Amino acid sequence: MKFSLEWLKYFLETDASVQDIAATLNRIGHEVEGIEDPAEKLAGFRVAEVLTAGPHPDADKLQVLSVSTGGAEPLQVVCGAPNARAGMKGVLGLPGAVVPANGMELRKSAIRGVESNGMMCSVRELELGEEHDGIIELPDDAPVGAAFADYSDVSPVFDVAITPNRPDCMGVLGIARDLAAAGLGTLKSVTAERVEGEGVAPDIRIEDEQGCPAFYARTITGVTNGPSPAWMQRRLKAAGQRPISALVDCTNYLMLAFGRPAHVYDLAKLSGPVVARKAREGETVEALNEKTYTLDSSMTVIADDTQVHDIGGIMGGEHSGATDATTDVLLEIAYFDPEAIGVTGRKLGIASDARTRFERGVDPAFLDEGLDILTSLILKTCGGTPGAVTRAGQPPVEPKRVGFDPKLTATLGGVEVNPVEQARILNSLGFLIDGLPDEQVGQQVAAQKADSGKTWQVTCPPRRHDIEGPADLVEEVVRIYGLDKVSSVALPRAEGVAKATASPLQLTERKVRRAAAARGLNEAVTWSFLPVREAEHFVDGADLWVLDNPISEDLKAMRPSLLPGLLMAARRNADRGADTLRLFEIGRRYFRGPNGASDEKPTLGVVLAGEKTQRGWSDGKAQGFDAYDAKAEALALLEAAGAPVDNLMVFGEAGAQFHPGQSATLRLGPKNVLARFGALHPATVKAFDLDGPVVAVEIYLDAIPAKKNAGFARAAYAPPALQAITRDFAFLVPADLAAGDLVKAVRGADKQAIVDARVFDVFAGAGVPEGKKSLAIEVTLQPDEKSFTEAEIKALSDKIVAAANKQGAELRG
């Protein structure tokens, strides 16, 4: 939120410097994100008087001016503004000054052969507005030679970040109140003049009491709309608000000064009673941002007999907005339910100043006073005759009462604060303590109440929606007392070596992360939320978890798999010209458990896409990834995670997202699925707008069994003393027999002597019977205490052949 020092001083009597104000705001929890001083931009610009104005000898549209800045000699300036004339006063930029609008440094120069000592400036060039048809014209009493920054009385502007729990500080008054409580000045009494209306009150009704509990309104007839006063425009511009017209500016001023949005309707464009009701399905409204929105029955609107004129609490309609021709207006100030405002705003994708305040919770007690302030502003700027007020509904103004023990401040806040000071702080923020005066804290009474040991009964102002219990009051006391006064105290720590705090799952994730990076994969971190369409593609019949209150309508489904996020990341990288994509992510899959509870599954996802190897001189074309690459990654990462890869079985049924002939699952037993891998189905690749074959791996880390020996130490490595030997075997096997099954059987023939087995050749064709294939396996035999004899090698070979026979294999002759 932005506001000028001048605006702040309207509410706060203070002599504090800009730096002191900024430091205090930071100290009490309002982070100052920036301070802009317009006076710095206006250095080198002075009030000047044009003494003479004559035509340029070599340019029809230029004039040569003689300009006085109070010095002994006038300056010659070339100017092209049509309104430049002798006797007027304006703003002269001297050589060395920098024009705020474009950053150009002014210098003494010759323009069409005539010397020019600076530049007469327009409003736009000094970033004081949008007017640029001529140079600035100042009043006749403007002091010639004065610095324009001093004359224009520009004020430093603060940019402060307001946390979501402090909607009471979404207006300058709230900021001033906090600064006054922190001892930086005195809060001025800003009371609204009671405006007595005349005539018949407007016909205002509420049909949606939940969405709009209270709706106050009055008419003002005979107004004259036009530009708002200079002081109002100056404050609005400092806050980043563009002045529009007096009527609209008055509502914006009320919102920025007091945190209370309001709206002005052109009364001539309304028909019949004005009603706060639920929108009808499919009803539309053209908002003030010139966009048309389609509404549904969950949204609160302000409408008359003919159409919707306002998306309640979010944005007004274009049709009934005030224009220069408006003469009669209806003022609306209402209280809208914050939760309903948030839901509607997200559905429609509208982010407005009004929504920001209403969905955080405005002051429900500031209806009458706010309407009187707005009425007074319009009467002073636009004239007119006010009508009587209609008050429909009742705002939720019942104050919350909290029991508070001042000793909690030391217990929870870690700082000792005198009870008298605590009472003063709470009172200055608008909290009332039973037995203490409303306006001025009596020290003796406060001390007696603290010494008595009784709990204070604190009544919270309705604007403080964030106060729920005594801990919140402690926060208020400590915040205003000074967060910088809370000592930094280290947590106690027992002597000795600290015990490891990482869980077994965390240790596994660290190992897998390092292994994946070592294999050349790039780690990605994607959203835990997905678009519904992408999530449904991977849901596999589970209960997709769709959020009621998402951060975005495009991210409302909790991810049932890590692969959609990685595929979307792969697409973004491919669109930017990436040739090879090797991505992995460790995260959680989310499902809706029993009774709506969260069911989170730790998972590792891998996506390989693009070129595995670049094209080269040998074959002339690039090579892509295939299912075997996915299997290699799956086995390597499972081994790093501690899975017993030698015992894994290969099954099908990787899922509808995978190619049925180029994918599989890795399991420990028929039901315990540790991973799935393979080439993605062409329909999946197309759904995520990717080109070429894409392979993927998904490893379910929670399915990996824990090691029985969980000790930190492992046996020392002892290399075998004797050299290993290898033997090759060629088997005829059924064509549909998986090579892995045969290898597993061979390795199990003698688990002590056989240390490795691998397929090195697959052949089907001439010499191999139909329906068969030849698998050649290299078996590594490792002797232990002595070398193998021929008889021992023969016995081992027989075991290998016997084990292969059980798989339907026969040794080739």
List the binding residues for Mg(2+): 466, 472, 475-476
Q: Which two tokens stand for residue 374?
A: 């707005």
Q: Which two tokens stand for residue 331?
A: 């003022």
β-bridge partners, 278: 300
Q: Which long-range contacts (CB under 8 A, 24 or more apart) does 581-585 make?
A: 581/607, 581/608, 581/609, 581/610, 582/520, 582/521, 582/522, 582/608, 583/521, 583/522, 583/523, 583/524, 583/607, 583/608, 584/516, 584/521, 584/522, 584/523, 584/524, 585/523, 585/524, 585/525, 585/526
Write a three-state SS string for 31-61. EEEEEECHHHHCCCEEEEEEEEEEEECCEEE
CA distance 609 to 165: 45
β-bridge partners, 606: 584, 697
Confirm if 21 and 5 have CB atoms less than 8 A apart. yes
Query: Where do the DSSP E strands lie in 305-389?
Result: 308-311, 315-316, 329-335, 385-386
- Burial zone of 438 (CB within 10 Å; 0-12 exposed, 13-18 middle, 19+ buried): exposed
Confirm if 79 and 65 have CB atoms less than 8 A apart. yes
Helix (H) or strand (E) holding 476: helix 470-482
Confirm if 370 and 362 have CB atoms less than 8 A apart. no
The SS3 of residue 733 is: strand
β-bridge partners, 618: none
What does the radius of gyration of the chain's CA atoms come to, in whole angstroms?
39
Q: Which two tokens stand for residue 580?
A: 């090879």
The residue among 579, 606, 616 whose CA lies nearest residue 695 is 606
Residue 635: phi and psi, rounded to 5, are -65, -40
**Residue numbers belonging to the annotated binding site:** 466, 472, 475-476
Confirm if 319 and 307 have CB atoms less than 8 A apart. yes
Question: How are beta strands 108-111 and 114-117 bridged, if at all?
Answer: antiparallel
